[in-house]
Chain A
Amino acid sequence: MRQKIGDQPRIVGFLCKWCSYAGADLAGTSRKKYPSNLTVLKVPCSGRIDPLFVLKGLRLGFDGVLVSGCHPGDCHYQTGNYRARRRIVITKKFLEYLGIPEERIQASWVSAAEGTKFARVVADVVENVRAIGPNNLFNNEG
């Protein structure tokens, strides 16, 4: 049986350390407000995000996953975000195959200067994922 998971929807965000995580920090230092539904996991580069992490998140009961890295062309490691972009496409395809709405994965490029944008991205992601409804596909036992 599905158990109650905090505030609905619950979202896990994979943020690269150089751009998006710093952008999220900037949202904080500038006291931008956004919904508390998203918890952040820091990765060195969006290229580190293994599609398995995304699937694991959904399997465990998160309603949505946000993947965020540096803007195309701005990757601290030159091309990591291009890899991430490709992997997101493939993972979405795979979700479709499993009958999971692809909107459960959301991606956005946020730079270290874009605190306001980060706050807006979170608000949008929360709204989009809420619109699909709770993720009841797995029994969330992990």
Chain B
Amino acid sequence: MINQMAEVLVEPRIGVYVCHCGSNIAGTVDVEEVSRFAGELESVKVARDYKFMCSEPGQNMIKDDIRELGLNRVVVASCSPTLHEPTFRRVCQESGINPYLFQMANIREQCSWVTEDHDGATVKAKALVGAAVNRVYYHEPLDVRQVSINPNTLVVGGGIAGIQAALEIADAGHKVYLVERTPSIGGHMAQLDKTFPTLDCSACILTPKMTLVSRHPNIELLTYSEVEDVSGYIGSFKVKIRKKARYVDMDKCTGCGLCQEKCPWKAPSEFEVGLGKRKAIYIPFAQAVPNKPVIDAEHCAYFLKGTCRACEKFCEAKAIDFDQKDEVVEVDVGNVILATGYDLFKPSGIYEYGYGKLDNVITSLEFERLVNSAGPTQGEILLKNGSHPKSIAIIHCAGSRDKDYHEYCSRVCCMYSMKFSHLIREHMAQTKSYEFYVDIRSFGKGYEEFYNRVVDEQTVFIKARPSKVTQDAGKLGDESKLVVHYASSDGTKHQQPVDMVVISTALEPQKDADAVGRLFGVSRSADGFFRERHPKMDPMATMNEGIFIVGCCQGPKDIPDTIAQASGAAGRVLAMISKGEVEIEATTSVIDEARCAGCRVCEGLCPFGAISFDAEKKVSRINEALCKGCRVCVAACPSAAISGKHFTTKQIMAEIKGMLIESKRGS
């Protein structure tokens, strides 16, 4: 209806603008030829080419033409719409044209950049411009939907990234739900000893923030919890969170810790990466937040065998509750910040290094625990036999910069490896450390200086990726040594005997990044980490409006970068909250009741249950608030009664036809 009225009432007057993008497009596509071609198309009143259409003069060119030539539809042939569609839609709007009366032809990412064939690229650009012109002819003015922003925010993951983002938003006076799946917040940073390059004690800078989180009136902390379901869209997401049973009543528990003292059952401590033990009822670490225990049912004698209940007997607060059940809570939020962090690459994958088979071959995170005074050895760097190592090899890039594992650089391993050499010197002045590196990457503020400092401390740097680590009993003079095999740059083979080997393993995406990404509608890049909206211009938003990614879930990074990104995303969320509403695409579909046959085919297809049947009128109807605009129903309706705004059948058919105008003209 609107479609026909628009057609009848105003004759389309189209302006076409072909961008050179410097030489990015013009170097491959004959842009003048494309613009000449466009100028001859039906209803095109003007076609121009210009160096940078997105620049101020480029935008003004369009505005002037709209005013002077009375254009009512615009086509820009330039980069991907992902980049500049919002820019040109705004130009249209500012000139009094509905922003949807605009179409973009992607002649850069999908044309000039993917071929060296100039003729082929020019033909293709013309096809894309022909398609865009044909399509825009049928565009209809649409209303942008304004939705209000629920000022509550969900932060998923309680590492330093999630903590930072939550505090920033909460400090600004808004409610935050912080969901952490383990029993305490803190993430990996809580396990570190000192932090490069300044060597602040990690716990000393982290725990104050953790405490702030636990006391903050605006933060609702949900630990030992996971998000189960997310629905809705920017401004109003509905989130279901499962709070796993802790078997401890958090209100009654005083955190005295008597239970974990009395509990007779042990399990490897996750926090100590298996180097120490914890009880079946346990507070994960001394500064844990919340500082209250949880019962691990998989290791609890009562759950396994039906007897014990020692903790219950000793708990004076009567806080133990073996009947506790998982609880599912539902919250409404306007934005979501994902801060789910990273996992460590398991070096047992590189079997040549002997991890898991040879004694005294450990991972970097295990070393962090060994060297930590609150760790399993009270900060003594000890070998399996209880003695101090006299030499330690640190192998960089295990699983990183290696096409067999991860092609990317993990960005922190060089630095933490050198931090280890420094800490070794601090703990045991006589112990030698060897850094086996591929390239030293010390790019951050103060990092190169730190490298120089470690070099000055007599650390031995060996540029090689060791081929294997073996155990050599006695052969090399000592009773039992690990031997690092490597080749120097001229190919000669060497062996370095040491007492301990630390493997600096890669940071990799969380095992369930796939499922979590799907839950929140966030895709992943080739490296497996969550994919940002734009790798340079928007590294914290995602293609899914209202969902942000911060910290290592977006890619490996150090703490300063994590904090910067988390604060940045918090700022973005706060800006939206303070504006109060946001424009979203006019994407919903509508059913023309006059054409609807009431067959109800569409109803079963809609993934969001947005379609219902009006039994009285015998027609189906779409609930605008629920429709996400996939247009699955549009393609399925046998009566062609459903119109998928901005992707109508007429528009798409015209676009297909438009692609061929160029070839039918001949050249």
A residues adjacent to B (C-beta < 8 A)? 3-7, 10, 12, 18-19, 22, 24-25, 27-29, 31-37, 39-45, 47-50, 52-53, 56-57, 60-62, 73-74, 76-80, 83, 87, 111-115, 119, 142
Contact = CB atoms under 8 A, between A and B. Distances in A.
Contacts of B117: 36
Given A41-B656, A56-B653, A36 B124 contact: yes
Contacts of A53: 652-653, 656
A80 B190 CA distance: 42
B121 interface: yes
Interface in B40-89: 80-82
Contacts, number: 160
Contact of B120 (A7, A31, A77, A119): A7
B631 A48 contact: yes
6 contacts: A31-B113, A40-B106, A43-B647, A45-B632, A79-B607, A142-B657
B115 interface: yes
A12 B521 CA distance: 28
Contact of B607 (A40, A48, A74, A78): A78
A73 B518 contact: yes
Nearest to A59: B656
A39 B523 contact: no
A28 B629 contact: no
Interface residues of B, number: 55
Interface of B: 80-82, 106, 108-111, 113-117, 120-121, 123-124, 127-128, 131, 518, 521, 523-526, 531, 543-544, 587, 605, 607-608, 628-632, 634-636, 644, 647, 649, 652-653, 655-657, 659-660, 662-664, 666
Given A25-B82, A27-B114, A112-B531, A12 B635 contact: no
Contact of A49 (B108, B518, B635): B635
A10 B630 CA distance: 28
B502 to A, nearest CB: 32
A41 B653 CA distance: 10
Contacts of B649: 50, 52
Contacts of B659: 12, 39, 41, 62
B531 A10 contact: no
A61 B657 CA distance: 9
A36 B631 contact: no
A47 B531 contact: no
B632 A33 contact: no
Nearest to A52: B649
A35 B635 contact: no
A19 B521 CA distance: 11
Contact of A5 (B518, B531, B644, B663): B663
B662 A33 contact: no
Nearest to B628: A77
Given A48-B635, A112-B531, A3 B666 contact: yes
A113 B632 contact: no
Contacts of A37: 120
A18 B663 contact: no
B144 to A, nearest CB: 16
Given A27-B114, A33-B114, A119-B114, A61 B636 contact: no
B520 to A, nearest CB: 11
A5 B660 contact: yes
Contacts of A57: 656
A43 B660 contact: no
Contacts of A25: 80, 82, 106, 109-110
Please give me the 4 A-B residue pairs with the lowest Cβ-Cβ distance, nearest first: A28-B109, A36-B120, A77-B630, A47-B632
Given A35-B115, A35-B120, A112 B636 contact: no
A88 to B, nearest CB: 12
A40 B110 contact: yes
A45 B664 CA distance: 30
B523 A10 contact: no
A22 B659 CA distance: 20
A45 B110 contact: no
A33 B647 contact: no
B98 to A, nearest CB: 19
Contacts of B110: 24-25, 27-28, 40
Contacts of B108: 28
Contacts of B664: 3, 5
Contacts of B632: 45, 47-48, 77, 79-80, 83
Contacts of B525: 112-113
A24 B82 CA distance: 12
Nearest to B644: A48
Contact of B114 (A28, A42, A47, A80): A28
Contacts of B109: 24-25, 27-29
A101 to B, nearest CB: 20
Contact of B123 (A6, A24, A27): A6
A18 B544 CA distance: 9
Contacts of B662: 6
Contacts of A36: 111, 114-115, 117, 120-121, 123-124
Nearest to B637: A50
A61 B660 contact: yes
A7 B666 CA distance: 11
B634 A39 contact: no
B316 to A, nearest CB: 50
B238 to A, nearest CB: 15
Contact of B663 (A10, A28, A73, A115): A10
Contacts of A19: 523
A39 B124 contact: yes
Contacts of B666: 3-4
Nearest to B80: A25
Contacts of B587: 44
Given A5-B664, A76-B521, 12 more contacts: A6-B663, A7-B120, A18-B523, A37-B120, A39-B124, A43-B647, A50-B635, A52-B653, A56-B656, A73-B518, A112-B531, A115-B526
Nearest to B118: A36
Contact of A41 (B120, B523, B635, B655): B655
A88 B115 CA distance: 29
Nearest to B28: A36
Nearest to B630: A77
B115 A33 contact: yes
